[in-house]
């Protein structure tokens, strides 16, 4: 295996990781910003008010995006397993 191949392989894995995590991180960010604005406007500084909505948004995001995530990860894994003979050469 050449260094270029290993770097490309790692790049593809990192790209897939970011792509799969992006929807949940985006939902958490949006809900966090909305809650922060709400807290600033109402002067409520309750700690559970920041965590509970974010957790719920991320869980809803996982349940909504789960088929897409599973399809992406399955395709990536299938390609790795099918190309093992090529990687050995």
Domain positions in the chain are 3-88
The 3-state DSSP composition of the chain as helix, strand, coil percent (nearest 5) reads 90, 0, 10
Write down the pTM of the prediction: 0.79
Per-residue pLDDT of the chain (89 residues; tens, 9 = 90+): 788 888 988 999 999 999 999 999 999 999 999 999 998 899 888 888 889 999 999 999 999 999 999 999 999 999 999 988 888 87
Best CA proximity match to 13, nearest among 78, 76, 81:
76
């Amino acid at each position: 295996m050449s260094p270029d191949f290993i770097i490309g392989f790692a790049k593809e894995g990192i790209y897939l990781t970011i792509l799969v995590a992006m929807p949940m991180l985006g939902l958490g960010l949006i809900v966090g910003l909305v809650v922060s604005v709400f807290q600033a406007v109402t002067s409520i500084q309750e700690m559970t008010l920041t965590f509970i909505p974010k957790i719920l948004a991320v869980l809803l995001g996982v349940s909504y995006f789960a088929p897409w995530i599973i399809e992406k990860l399955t395709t990536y894994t299938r390609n790795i397993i099918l190309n093992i003979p090529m990687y050995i050469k």
